[in-house]
Amino acid sequence: MSSDFWLSPPGIELRLQDLAESLTWESINKTLEVLGEKAGIQRLEWVTEIDDRTCNYCDGQSGRSYEVGGLLPAMPAHPHCRCHWEIVY
């Protein structure tokens, strides 16, 4: 794709869709972190969609669990990140 594409209406629409997707996942994951702490959830597990599009960082994070209220890695980790938190029971 040329740099002109990103200034065209289809390019702008694609960038806005990417931004909306990232902000949606960021909001979902942050809400789980905040409400999880208030609800007494102790740990969250990093869940990665494993396939040929998975990056090395997310592949390495997959299955790791973190204490709620502690330092949690930022999620989404990058544009088009499909990772999310799940509650560890």
Query: What pLDDT, on the 0 to 100 scale, is given for residue 2?
Result: 64
Residue 89 has pLDDT above 70, yes or no: yes
Query: What pLDDT, on the 0 to 100 scale, is given for residue 46?
Result: 96
Q: pLDDT grade, residue 53 (50/70/90)? A: confident
Domain ranges of the chain: 5-88
Residue 56 has pLDDT above 90, yes or no: yes
Instruction: Spell out the SS3 assignment of the chain.
Output: CCCCHHHCHHHHHHHHHHHHHHHHHHHHHHHHHHHHHHCCCCEEEEECCCCCCCCHHHHHHCCCEEECCCCCCCCCCCCCCCCEEEEEC
- pLDDT > 70 fraction of the chain, expressed in percent and rounded: 98
Please tell me which residue, 81 or 1, carries the higher pLDDT value: 81
Maximum pairwise Cα distance, the chain: 50
Section 22-44 average pLDDT: 86
